[in-house]
Structure 1
Protein backbone atom coordinates (compact mmCIF):
# COMPACT_ATOMS: atom_id res chain seq x y z
CA UNK A 1 0.00 0.00 0.00
CA UNK A 2 2.36 2.71 -1.25
CA UNK A 3 2.43 6.02 0.60
CA UNK A 4 5.70 7.89 0.13
CA UNK A 5 6.78 11.51 0.51
CA UNK A 6 9.62 11.94 -1.98
CA UNK A 7 12.93 13.65 -1.35
CA UNK A 8 13.02 17.40 -2.08
CA UNK A 9 13.49 20.89 -0.66
CA UNK A 10 16.26 19.57 1.56
CA UNK A 11 14.02 16.92 3.10
CA UNK A 12 14.63 13.15 2.84
CA UNK A 13 12.07 10.70 1.51
CA UNK A 14 9.65 9.31 4.07
CA UNK A 15 8.02 5.93 3.50
CA UNK A 16 4.66 5.39 5.22
CA UNK A 17 3.82 2.33 3.10
CA UNK A 18 2.34 -0.92 4.38
CA UNK A 19 2.54 -4.45 3.02
CA UNK A 20 0.36 -7.48 3.65
CA UNK A 21 1.51 -11.09 3.52
CA UNK A 22 0.43 -14.46 4.86
CA UNK A 23 1.74 -16.13 7.96
CA UNK A 24 2.92 -19.48 6.51
CA UNK A 25 2.11 -21.29 9.76
CA UNK A 26 -1.45 -20.04 10.28
CA UNK A 27 -2.55 -18.61 6.92
CA UNK A 28 -3.55 -15.37 8.62
CA UNK A 29 -2.79 -11.87 7.33
CA UNK A 30 0.34 -10.10 8.56
CA UNK A 31 0.25 -6.33 8.03
CA UNK A 32 3.63 -4.62 8.26
CA UNK A 33 4.83 -1.03 8.14
CA UNK A 34 6.95 -1.51 5.02
CA UNK A 35 8.79 1.79 5.35
CA UNK A 36 9.83 1.27 8.95
CA UNK A 37 10.81 -2.39 8.53
CA UNK A 38 12.75 -2.32 5.25
CA UNK A 39 14.01 1.28 5.08
CA UNK A 40 13.52 1.42 1.30
CA UNK A 41 11.17 2.94 -1.24
CA UNK A 42 11.74 0.15 -3.78
CA UNK A 43 8.92 -1.99 -5.10
CA UNK A 44 8.58 -4.74 -7.70
CA UNK A 45 6.22 -6.22 -10.29
CA UNK A 46 3.28 -3.81 -10.46
CA UNK A 47 2.18 -0.47 -9.09
CA UNK A 48 -0.62 1.94 -9.89
CA UNK A 49 0.49 5.21 -8.35
CA UNK A 50 -1.08 8.64 -8.00
CA UNK A 51 1.54 11.36 -7.56
CA UNK A 52 0.77 14.87 -6.31
CA UNK A 53 2.63 17.84 -4.88
CA UNK A 54 0.72 17.45 -1.63
CA UNK A 55 -0.42 21.08 -1.57
CA UNK A 56 -3.75 22.24 -0.12
CA UNK A 57 -6.52 22.71 -2.65
CA UNK A 58 -9.92 21.63 -3.85
CA UNK A 59 -10.75 17.93 -3.84
CA UNK A 60 -13.74 15.79 -4.77
CA UNK A 61 -15.43 14.51 -1.61
CA UNK A 62 -17.52 11.36 -1.98
CA UNK A 63 -19.78 10.04 0.78
CA UNK A 64 -21.75 6.86 0.35
CA UNK A 65 -23.75 4.47 2.49
CA UNK A 66 -25.47 1.25 1.48
CA UNK A 67 -24.59 -0.51 -1.77
CA UNK A 68 -27.61 -1.23 -3.95
CA UNK A 69 -25.91 -2.66 -7.06
CA UNK A 70 -23.18 -5.09 -8.04
CA UNK A 71 -20.37 -2.55 -8.61
CA UNK A 72 -18.03 -1.71 -5.76
CA UNK A 73 -17.37 1.83 -4.50
CA UNK A 74 -14.50 2.51 -6.90
CA UNK A 75 -16.22 0.93 -9.90
CA UNK A 76 -19.29 3.11 -9.33
CA UNK A 77 -17.19 6.28 -9.58
CA UNK A 78 -15.20 5.00 -12.57
CA UNK A 79 -18.33 3.90 -14.45
CA UNK A 80 -20.02 7.26 -13.77
CA UNK A 81 -17.03 9.09 -15.25
CA UNK A 82 -17.04 6.78 -18.27
CA UNK A 83 -20.74 7.42 -18.92
CA UNK A 84 -20.27 11.18 -18.62
CA UNK A 85 -16.99 11.68 -20.52
CA UNK A 86 -17.22 8.82 -23.03
CA UNK A 87 -14.10 8.44 -25.14
CA UNK A 88 -12.24 11.11 -23.18
CA UNK A 89 -10.49 9.17 -20.38
CA UNK A 90 -10.45 10.65 -16.89
CA UNK A 91 -8.07 9.41 -14.22
CA UNK A 92 -8.55 9.92 -10.48
CA UNK A 93 -6.56 9.10 -7.40
CA UNK A 94 -7.13 9.45 -3.70
CA UNK A 95 -7.91 7.91 -0.38
CA UNK A 96 -11.15 6.62 1.05
CA UNK A 97 -12.17 5.22 4.39
CA UNK A 98 -14.51 2.29 4.88
CA UNK A 99 -16.06 3.66 8.04
CA UNK A 100 -18.50 0.86 8.80
CA UNK A 101 -18.96 -2.70 7.59
CA UNK A 102 -16.67 -5.32 6.13
CA UNK A 103 -14.92 -5.83 2.81
CA UNK A 104 -13.59 -8.71 0.72
CA UNK A 105 -9.81 -8.28 0.62
CA UNK A 106 -7.17 -10.55 -0.85
CA UNK A 107 -3.57 -11.12 0.21
CA UNK A 108 -1.08 -12.79 -2.13
CA UNK A 109 0.56 -15.99 -0.88
CA UNK A 110 3.99 -17.13 -2.03
CA UNK A 111 4.36 -17.21 -5.82
CA UNK A 112 2.59 -20.15 -7.40
CA UNK A 113 4.89 -23.05 -8.35
CA UNK A 114 2.81 -23.63 -11.50
CA UNK A 115 1.45 -21.23 -14.17
CA UNK A 116 -1.87 -19.50 -13.47
CA UNK A 117 -3.61 -19.66 -16.82
CA UNK A 118 -6.98 -18.13 -16.01
CA UNK A 119 -8.92 -16.00 -13.53
CA UNK A 120 -10.27 -19.10 -11.78
CA UNK A 121 -6.72 -20.34 -11.15
CA UNK A 122 -5.69 -16.90 -9.88
CA UNK A 123 -8.66 -16.74 -7.49
CA UNK A 124 -7.92 -20.22 -6.19
CA UNK A 125 -4.33 -19.16 -5.50
CA UNK A 126 -5.15 -15.87 -3.74
CA UNK A 127 -6.17 -15.87 -0.10
CA UNK A 128 -9.42 -13.98 0.57
CA UNK A 129 -10.51 -12.44 3.86
CA UNK A 130 -13.56 -10.64 5.20
CA UNK A 131 -11.89 -7.63 6.84
CA UNK A 132 -13.47 -5.13 9.21
CA UNK A 133 -13.74 -1.35 9.21
CA UNK A 134 -12.16 1.02 9.68
CA UNK A 135 -10.05 0.38 6.56
CA UNK A 136 -7.94 3.10 4.95
CA UNK A 137 -7.94 2.58 1.19
CA UNK A 138 -5.72 4.11 -1.50
CA UNK A 139 -7.13 4.00 -4.99
CA UNK A 140 -6.24 4.90 -8.56
CA UNK A 141 -8.78 4.53 -11.37
CA UNK A 142 -9.20 5.54 -15.01
CA UNK A 143 -12.59 5.80 -16.68
CA UNK A 144 -11.44 3.74 -19.66
CA UNK A 145 -8.33 2.31 -21.28
CA UNK A 146 -7.52 3.72 -24.73
CA UNK A 147 -5.02 1.04 -25.65
CA UNK A 148 -2.37 1.47 -22.94
CA UNK A 149 -3.11 -1.92 -21.34
CA UNK A 150 -4.06 -0.23 -18.08
CA UNK A 151 -5.49 -1.78 -14.96
CA UNK A 152 -8.41 0.63 -14.91
CA UNK A 153 -8.87 0.47 -11.14
CA UNK A 154 -6.62 -0.67 -8.32
CA UNK A 155 -7.20 -0.24 -4.61
CA UNK A 156 -5.23 -1.40 -1.59
CA UNK A 157 -6.27 -1.00 2.05
CA UNK A 158 -4.56 -1.01 5.42
CA UNK A 159 -5.72 -0.53 8.98
CA UNK A 160 -4.51 0.05 12.50
CA UNK A 161 -5.88 -3.30 13.67
CA UNK A 162 -3.63 -5.55 11.58
CA UNK A 163 -5.73 -6.11 8.45
CA UNK A 164 -5.05 -5.05 4.88
CA UNK A 165 -4.64 -6.08 1.25
CA UNK A 166 -6.28 -5.65 -2.15
CA UNK A 167 -9.88 -4.34 -2.04
CA UNK A 168 -12.59 -6.11 -4.06
CA UNK A 169 -15.94 -4.95 -2.63
CA UNK A 170 -17.81 -4.57 0.63
CA UNK A 171 -19.56 -7.65 2.01
CA UNK A 172 -22.06 -5.72 4.16
CA UNK A 173 -23.97 -3.69 1.53
CA UNK A 174 -26.81 -2.69 3.88
CA UNK A 175 -24.59 -1.15 6.55
CA UNK A 176 -21.38 -0.08 4.75
CA UNK A 177 -20.29 3.56 4.87
CA UNK A 178 -17.59 5.21 2.74
CA UNK A 179 -15.87 8.58 2.86
CA UNK A 180 -13.36 9.47 0.15
CA UNK A 181 -11.29 12.36 -1.20
CA UNK A 182 -10.03 12.32 -4.79
CA UNK A 183 -8.25 14.46 -7.36
CA UNK A 184 -8.26 14.21 -11.16
CA UNK A 185 -4.96 13.39 -12.84
CA UNK A 186 -3.33 15.82 -15.28
CA UNK A 187 -0.97 13.33 -16.92
CA UNK A 188 -0.80 9.56 -17.34
CA UNK A 189 2.51 7.71 -17.57
CA UNK A 190 2.68 4.05 -18.62
CA UNK A 191 6.12 2.80 -17.61
CA UNK A 192 7.74 -0.48 -18.72
CA UNK A 193 4.69 -1.78 -20.54
CA UNK A 194 5.19 -5.53 -21.04
CA UNK A 195 5.46 -6.86 -24.56
CA UNK A 196 3.15 -9.74 -23.74
CA UNK A 197 -0.01 -9.26 -21.70
CA UNK A 198 -2.35 -11.77 -20.08
CA UNK A 199 -5.37 -9.76 -18.87
CA UNK A 200 -5.67 -11.99 -15.79
CA UNK A 201 -7.31 -10.32 -12.84
CA UNK A 202 -8.37 -7.27 -14.81
Structure 2
Protein backbone atom coordinates (compact mmCIF):
# COMPACT_ATOMS: atom_id res chain seq x y z
CA UNK A 1 0.00 0.00 0.00
CA UNK A 2 1.23 3.49 -0.86
CA UNK A 3 1.74 5.88 2.05
CA UNK A 4 -0.74 8.76 2.41
CA UNK A 5 -0.13 11.90 4.46
CA UNK A 6 -2.65 14.72 4.91
CA UNK A 7 -2.07 18.43 5.52
CA UNK A 8 -4.52 21.34 5.89
CA UNK A 9 -3.54 24.43 3.88
CA UNK A 10 -4.01 28.00 5.02
CA UNK A 11 -7.09 29.16 3.09
CA UNK A 12 -7.55 32.95 2.80
CA UNK A 13 -10.78 34.39 1.44
CA UNK A 14 -11.05 34.87 -2.31
CA UNK A 15 -11.31 38.62 -1.80
CA UNK A 16 -8.07 38.68 0.18
CA UNK A 17 -6.28 36.61 -2.46
CA UNK A 18 -7.47 38.98 -5.19
CA UNK A 19 -5.64 41.89 -3.54
CA UNK A 20 -2.49 39.87 -2.90
CA UNK A 21 -2.29 38.52 -6.45
CA UNK A 22 -3.10 41.89 -8.02
CA UNK A 23 -0.21 43.53 -6.16
CA UNK A 24 2.23 40.76 -6.99
CA UNK A 25 1.37 40.24 -10.64
CA UNK A 26 1.56 43.94 -11.49
CA UNK A 27 5.31 43.72 -10.86
CA UNK A 28 5.64 41.06 -13.56
CA UNK A 29 3.01 42.04 -16.15
CA UNK A 30 2.10 45.33 -17.83
CA UNK A 31 -1.66 44.84 -17.53
CA UNK A 32 -3.24 42.86 -14.68
CA UNK A 33 -6.86 42.43 -13.59
CA UNK A 34 -7.74 40.09 -10.73
CA UNK A 35 -11.31 39.67 -9.47
CA UNK A 36 -13.85 37.25 -8.00
CA UNK A 37 -16.24 35.93 -10.65
CA UNK A 38 -18.55 33.02 -11.35
CA UNK A 39 -16.59 30.15 -12.86
CA UNK A 40 -17.27 29.92 -16.59
CA UNK A 41 -18.80 26.72 -17.96
CA UNK A 42 -15.72 24.60 -18.47
CA UNK A 43 -17.57 22.05 -20.60
CA UNK A 44 -17.50 24.65 -23.38
CA UNK A 45 -14.60 25.53 -25.68
CA UNK A 46 -11.73 26.04 -25.38
CA UNK A 47 -11.69 23.89 -22.22
CA UNK A 48 -14.07 21.06 -23.15
CA UNK A 49 -13.67 19.55 -19.66
CA UNK A 50 -16.04 16.83 -18.43
CA UNK A 51 -17.22 19.09 -15.56
CA UNK A 52 -18.70 22.60 -15.42
CA UNK A 53 -16.45 24.13 -12.77
CA UNK A 54 -13.56 23.76 -10.32
CA UNK A 55 -15.53 24.35 -7.11
CA UNK A 56 -16.52 22.03 -4.27
CA UNK A 57 -14.04 20.71 -1.70
CA UNK A 58 -10.91 21.73 -3.62
CA UNK A 59 -7.82 19.75 -2.73
CA UNK A 60 -4.38 18.88 -4.09
CA UNK A 61 -2.99 15.38 -4.40
CA UNK A 62 0.71 14.93 -5.08
CA UNK A 63 1.52 11.37 -6.08
CA UNK A 64 5.02 9.91 -6.35
CA UNK A 65 7.70 12.27 -7.53
CA UNK A 66 10.60 13.06 -9.82
CA UNK A 67 12.93 10.67 -7.92
CA UNK A 68 10.90 7.79 -9.42
CA UNK A 69 11.90 9.04 -12.89
CA UNK A 70 15.48 10.22 -12.39
CA UNK A 71 18.36 9.52 -12.04
CA UNK A 72 16.93 6.25 -13.40
CA UNK A 73 13.39 5.06 -14.03
CA UNK A 74 11.71 3.01 -11.30
CA UNK A 75 9.49 0.71 -13.36
CA UNK A 76 7.77 -0.68 -10.29
CA UNK A 77 5.90 2.59 -9.77
CA UNK A 78 2.67 3.71 -11.23
CA UNK A 79 -2.11 15.38 -18.03
CA UNK A 80 -5.11 13.86 -16.24
CA UNK A 81 -8.48 15.59 -16.71
CA UNK A 82 -10.81 13.11 -15.07
CA UNK A 83 -14.33 13.02 -13.67
CA UNK A 84 -14.43 10.15 -11.21
CA UNK A 85 -17.30 7.71 -10.92
CA UNK A 86 -20.29 8.65 -8.74
CA UNK A 87 -23.73 7.25 -7.99
CA UNK A 88 -25.17 9.24 -10.85
CA UNK A 89 -22.40 9.43 -13.45
CA UNK A 90 -19.76 7.09 -14.87
CA UNK A 91 -16.10 8.02 -14.76
CA UNK A 92 -14.92 10.17 -17.67
CA UNK A 93 -11.28 10.40 -18.75
CA UNK A 94 -10.78 13.65 -20.66
CA UNK A 95 -6.98 13.53 -20.47
CA UNK A 96 -4.45 14.23 -23.19
CA UNK A 97 -0.90 13.01 -23.63
CA UNK A 98 1.94 14.57 -25.58
CA UNK A 99 4.74 12.57 -27.14
CA UNK A 100 7.41 12.78 -29.80
CA UNK A 101 5.93 12.21 -33.27
CA UNK A 102 7.77 9.16 -34.68
CA UNK A 103 7.27 10.49 -38.21
CA UNK A 104 8.94 13.90 -37.99
CA UNK A 105 10.26 14.23 -34.43
CA UNK A 106 7.77 17.00 -33.63
CA UNK A 107 5.24 17.31 -30.84
CA UNK A 108 2.21 15.01 -31.11
CA UNK A 109 -0.82 15.52 -28.85
CA UNK A 110 -3.50 12.85 -28.57
CA UNK A 111 -6.67 12.30 -26.55
CA UNK A 112 -5.97 9.52 -24.06
CA UNK A 113 -9.41 7.92 -24.36
CA UNK A 114 -8.99 7.42 -28.10
CA UNK A 115 -6.16 4.96 -27.51
CA UNK A 116 -6.71 3.62 -23.99
CA UNK A 117 -9.65 2.92 -21.71
CA UNK A 118 -7.98 2.94 -18.30
CA UNK A 119 -7.35 5.71 -15.75
CA UNK A 120 -3.76 4.95 -14.77
CA UNK A 121 -0.61 7.04 -14.79
CA UNK A 122 3.00 6.39 -13.89
CA UNK A 123 5.72 7.73 -11.61
CA UNK A 124 4.28 11.09 -10.55
CA UNK A 125 1.30 13.42 -10.72
CA UNK A 126 0.37 16.83 -9.33
CA UNK A 127 -3.41 16.93 -9.21
CA UNK A 128 -5.99 19.58 -8.36
CA UNK A 129 -9.29 17.89 -7.52
CA UNK A 130 -12.75 19.19 -6.69
CA UNK A 131 -16.40 18.26 -7.05
CA UNK A 132 -16.40 19.97 -10.45
CA UNK A 133 -19.16 22.37 -9.47
CA UNK A 134 -19.90 25.95 -10.61
CA UNK A 135 -19.20 28.70 -8.08
CA UNK A 136 -17.07 31.70 -7.24
CA UNK A 137 -13.45 31.62 -8.37
CA UNK A 138 -10.52 33.98 -8.80
CA UNK A 139 -10.20 35.28 -12.35
CA UNK A 140 -6.75 36.48 -13.39
CA UNK A 141 -6.07 38.41 -16.58
CA UNK A 142 -2.45 39.25 -17.34
CA UNK A 143 -0.92 40.74 -20.50
CA UNK A 144 2.60 41.73 -21.48
CA UNK A 145 5.18 40.05 -19.28
CA UNK A 146 7.70 42.59 -17.97
CA UNK A 147 9.36 40.47 -15.28
CA UNK A 148 11.42 37.28 -15.23
CA UNK A 149 8.84 34.89 -13.81
CA UNK A 150 6.36 32.85 -15.81
CA UNK A 151 2.65 33.23 -15.04
CA UNK A 152 2.47 30.42 -12.48
CA UNK A 153 5.78 31.15 -10.77
CA UNK A 154 4.78 34.78 -10.34
CA UNK A 155 1.58 33.80 -8.52
CA UNK A 156 3.40 31.25 -6.38
CA UNK A 157 6.20 33.64 -5.43
CA UNK A 158 3.63 36.33 -4.65
CA UNK A 159 1.82 34.02 -2.21
CA UNK A 160 5.12 32.88 -0.67
CA UNK A 161 6.24 36.46 -0.07
CA UNK A 162 2.93 37.56 1.43
CA UNK A 163 2.00 34.53 3.55
CA UNK A 164 5.45 33.28 4.53
CA UNK A 165 5.28 30.10 6.60
CA UNK A 166 1.53 29.64 6.03
CA UNK A 167 1.48 27.27 3.01
CA UNK A 168 -1.18 27.94 0.39
CA UNK A 169 -2.03 25.52 -2.40
CA UNK A 170 -3.84 26.58 -5.56
CA UNK A 171 -5.01 25.07 -8.81
CA UNK A 172 -7.43 25.56 -11.65
CA UNK A 173 -7.03 26.32 -15.31
CA UNK A 174 -5.77 29.07 -17.56
CA UNK A 175 -5.63 29.81 -21.26
CA UNK A 176 -2.69 31.30 -23.10
CA UNK A 177 -4.83 33.40 -25.43
CA UNK A 178 -2.05 35.01 -27.46
CA UNK A 179 1.65 34.42 -27.91
CA UNK A 180 3.94 31.40 -27.84
CA UNK A 181 5.26 29.28 -25.00
CA UNK A 182 8.14 26.90 -24.42
CA UNK A 183 7.20 23.33 -23.50
CA UNK A 184 8.96 20.03 -23.13
CA UNK A 185 7.91 16.50 -24.04
CA UNK A 186 9.67 13.41 -22.75
CA UNK A 187 11.55 11.21 -25.22
CA UNK A 188 9.94 7.90 -26.25
CA UNK A 189 12.52 5.94 -24.26
CA UNK A 190 13.60 6.45 -20.65
CA UNK A 191 17.26 7.33 -20.19
CA UNK A 192 19.56 4.33 -19.82
CA UNK A 193 22.23 6.55 -18.26
CA UNK A 194 21.73 8.16 -14.83
CA UNK A 195 20.55 11.78 -15.00
CA UNK A 196 22.22 13.51 -12.08
CA UNK A 197 21.75 17.24 -12.75
CA UNK A 198 19.34 19.73 -14.29
CA UNK A 199 21.70 19.93 -17.26
CA UNK A 200 21.46 16.16 -17.79
CA UNK A 201 17.67 16.31 -17.61
CA UNK A 202 17.41 19.21 -20.07
CA UNK A 203 19.69 17.44 -22.53
CA UNK A 204 17.43 14.38 -22.37
CA UNK A 205 14.09 16.21 -22.77
CA UNK A 206 12.75 17.53 -26.10
CA UNK A 207 11.80 21.24 -26.11
CA UNK A 208 9.35 22.95 -28.44
CA UNK A 209 7.91 26.43 -28.98
CA UNK A 210 4.16 26.18 -29.51
CA UNK A 211 1.49 28.75 -30.36
CA UNK A 212 -1.66 29.89 -28.57
CA UNK A 213 -4.42 29.21 -27.86
CA UNK A 214 -3.35 26.72 -25.21
CA UNK A 215 -5.33 25.36 -22.26
CA UNK A 216 -3.27 24.76 -19.10
CA UNK A 217 -3.75 22.91 -15.81
CA UNK A 218 -1.55 24.36 -13.04
CA UNK A 219 -0.98 23.14 -9.50
CA UNK A 220 1.19 25.25 -7.21
CA UNK A 221 2.06 25.49 -3.53
CA UNK A 222 3.55 28.61 -1.98
CA UNK A 223 5.83 26.72 0.39
CA UNK A 224 6.59 23.06 1.07
CA UNK A 225 5.39 22.19 4.60
CA UNK A 226 7.78 19.24 4.70
CA UNK A 227 6.35 16.74 2.20
CA UNK A 228 9.00 16.90 -0.56
CA UNK A 229 6.58 18.67 -2.92
CA UNK A 230 7.05 19.82 -6.47
CA UNK A 231 6.12 23.44 -5.83
CA UNK A 232 4.57 23.99 -9.25
CA UNK A 233 3.66 21.85 -12.22
CA UNK A 234 1.68 22.88 -15.30
CA UNK A 235 0.72 20.92 -18.38
CA UNK A 236 -1.06 22.29 -21.44
CA UNK A 237 -3.01 21.02 -24.42
CA UNK A 238 -4.50 22.60 -27.50
CA UNK A 239 -7.08 21.86 -30.16
CA UNK A 240 -4.45 22.18 -32.88
CA UNK A 241 -2.38 19.13 -32.03
CA UNK A 242 0.33 20.32 -29.64
CA UNK A 243 0.90 20.32 -25.89
CA UNK A 244 3.36 19.46 -23.14
CA UNK A 245 4.88 20.71 -19.90
CA UNK A 246 4.65 24.51 -19.65
CA UNK A 247 7.88 26.38 -18.91
CA UNK A 248 7.35 30.04 -19.87
CA UNK A 249 6.15 32.31 -22.66
CA UNK A 250 8.67 33.18 -25.37
CA UNK A 251 6.79 36.27 -26.60
CA UNK A 252 6.56 38.42 -23.47
CA UNK A 253 5.29 41.53 -25.25
CA UNK A 254 2.45 39.69 -26.95
CA UNK A 255 1.42 37.09 -24.37
CA UNK A 256 -2.05 37.16 -22.83
CA UNK A 257 -3.21 34.90 -20.00
CA UNK A 258 -6.74 34.29 -18.69
CA UNK A 259 -7.07 32.00 -15.69
CA UNK A 260 -9.50 30.72 -13.06
CA UNK A 261 -8.16 29.51 -9.71
CA UNK A 262 -9.13 28.36 -6.23
CA UNK A 263 -7.17 27.80 -3.04
CA UNK A 264 -7.10 24.14 -2.00
CA UNK A 265 -8.25 23.16 1.47
CA UNK A 266 -6.22 19.99 1.88
CA UNK A 267 -3.06 18.34 0.57
CA UNK A 268 -2.85 14.57 0.17
CA UNK A 269 0.76 13.40 -0.20
CA UNK A 270 0.70 9.91 -1.70
CA UNK A 271 3.65 7.54 -2.09
CA UNK A 272 6.35 10.08 -1.20
CA UNK A 273 9.78 8.83 -2.38
CA UNK A 274 11.99 7.60 0.45
CA UNK A 275 15.13 8.84 -1.33
CA UNK A 276 14.94 12.27 -2.94
CA UNK A 277 16.82 15.09 -4.68
CA UNK A 278 16.03 18.59 -5.94
CA UNK A 279 16.83 18.55 -9.67
CA UNK A 280 14.55 17.90 -12.62
CA UNK A 281 11.68 19.88 -11.13
CA UNK A 282 11.45 22.84 -13.49
Same fold (TM over 0.5): yes
Task: Say which SS state the counterpart of residue 161 (structure 2) adopts.
Answer: helix
Does the aligned pair in 2 maintain the 1:140–1:155 contact within 8 Å?
yes
For 1:59, the equivalent position in structure 2 comes to 137
Structure 1 contact 91–143 (Cα < 8 Å) conserved: yes
Residue correspondence of structure 1 range 11-30 to structure 2 within 5 A: 11-30=89-108
Matches within 5 A, 1:1-202: 1-109=79-187, 110-202=189-281
Stretch of structure 1 that moved more, 16-25 or 184-193? 16-25
Alignment RMSD (CA, Å): 0.8
- Deviation of 1:10 after TM superposition, in Å, equals 2.8
- TM-score (normalised: structure 2): 0.70
Unaligned runs of at least 5 residues, structure 2:
1-78
Offset at residue 25 of structure 1 (A): 4.0
Q: Could you tell which deviates more after superposition, 96-105 or 6-15? A: 6-15
* Separation in 2, partners of 1:40, 1:113: 28
The DSSP-based 3-state class of the residue aligned with 2:160 is helix
Runs of 4+ aligned structure 1 residues displaced above 4 Å come to none
Name the count of aligned residue pairs. Answer: 202
Q: Secondary structure at the match of 1:50?
A: strand
Greater C-alpha Rg: 2
Distance, in Å, in 2 between the alignment partners of 1:198 and 1:143 is 19
Q: Which has the higher contact order (CA 8 A, sep 6+)?
A: 2
1:169 match: secondary structure: strand
Q: What TM-score do you get using the length of structure 1 for normalisation?
A: 0.98
Is the contact made by 1:15 and 1:36 (CA closer than 8 Å) also made in structure 2? no
Q: Is the 8 A contact 1:155 1:166 kept in 2?
A: yes
